[in-house]
Amino acid sequence: MLPALRQAPSQPIVLASVAYCTGPAWEGRNVEQVPGPKMEVTRRQERIAFLLVTAVVFPLLAILVVAGYGFMVWMWQLLFVGPPTGP
């Protein structure tokens, strides 16, 4: 075991939200049974996440999709069919 991770023998080691159990008290228990900090999402956090997704992520995604389509048409015309011409 890494020296920085040494703890009492019957204490869980939590590393990046994953519990690695040590000692005889934890034998036979899976990670779901290990007690640990519970993350509760508040209404404020949900509101911030919603606003971030609706005001930043979706508009950027829409712009990238339209720009990607325009680039694809531009390259198609440049490489295969040439510029559009009238009748």
| Boundaries of domain holding 23 | 3-33
**44 vs 28 pLDDT, higher one:** 44
Handedness of CA 32, 33, 35, 41 (dihedral sign): positive
Same domain? For 20 and 47 the reply is no
Q: What tens digit of pLDDT does each residue of 46-80 get? A: 999 999 999 999 999 999 999 999 999 999 999 99
**Distance separating alpha carbons of residues 28 and 35, to the nearest angstrom:** 14
DSSP state of 19: E
Q: What integer best gives the mean pLDDT of the chain?
A: 78
- What's the pLDDT score for residue 83? 87
Confidence check: pLDDT of 17 > 90 = no
Same domain? For 77 and 51 the reply is yes
Residue 9, SS3 per DSSP: coil
Domain membership of residue 76 (yes or no) is: yes
Strand ranges, E, within the chain: 13-15, 18-20
Confidence check: pLDDT of 44 > 80 = yes
